[in-house]
Amino acid sequence: MTSKTNDRITIQGTAPKFDATVLQQLTEARHSAYDQTDECTALVRGEIPIQFLSNLIDHHTKGYTLRTNYPVSIGFGSYSCRMEKPESIQTADKIALAAQVKLEYIAWLESEHERYKQLLTAQLLQASELKEAEKIEKAKAKLLADIQKEVDATFSHLVIPE
């Protein structure tokens, strides 16, 4: 949150702080994406029909259910389908996703905090440089005025006879 007016750096606002509500919204969005994609499923394959059916039965006995919104592939030498993971596995996946979202959120907060620190450093440095330049300019103007007085005192007004 900065703006440069005539190349002046100004920071607006403050670095974001940890907000449990934002984390909850991010987590819910990630869980929703998990539920709406094939992440909540497992791909069951087999090169021959008996191998495919065996794998399908195996997964079913482990609690997987057939997802009807995904196509079943029964091409020669490539049999596959998607089966929804059991609740226990989905719950464990969602717990892991929540932890990942929290780590990403914290990393983002830390990066924003660091960015604000760098911007403040740049702003303070720029302000200091401007003050220093102003002092130098005033000193130069005073020196120029003193020199002009000395020059005026050395050379009187030019008199030209008529």
Helix (H, G, I), strand (E, B) or coil at 151: helix
* 20: in domain: yes
Q: What radius of gyration, in Å, describes the C-alpha atoms of the chain?
A: 36
Domain count, the chain: 1
**Taking the model in full, what pTM does it have?**
0.72
Locus of tokens 């464990």: 92
In tens, the pLDDT along 25-73 reads 999 999 999 999 999 999 999 999 999 999 999 999 999 999 888 999 9
In tens, the pLDDT along 69-126 reads 899 999 888 999 999 999 999 999 999 999 999 999 999 999 999 999 999 999 999 9
Domain residues for the domain of 29 are 2-153
Under a CB-based contact definition with an 8 Å cutoff, are residues 56 and 44 in contact?
A: yes
Under a CB-based contact definition with an 8 Å cutoff, are residues 105 and 24 in contact?
A: no
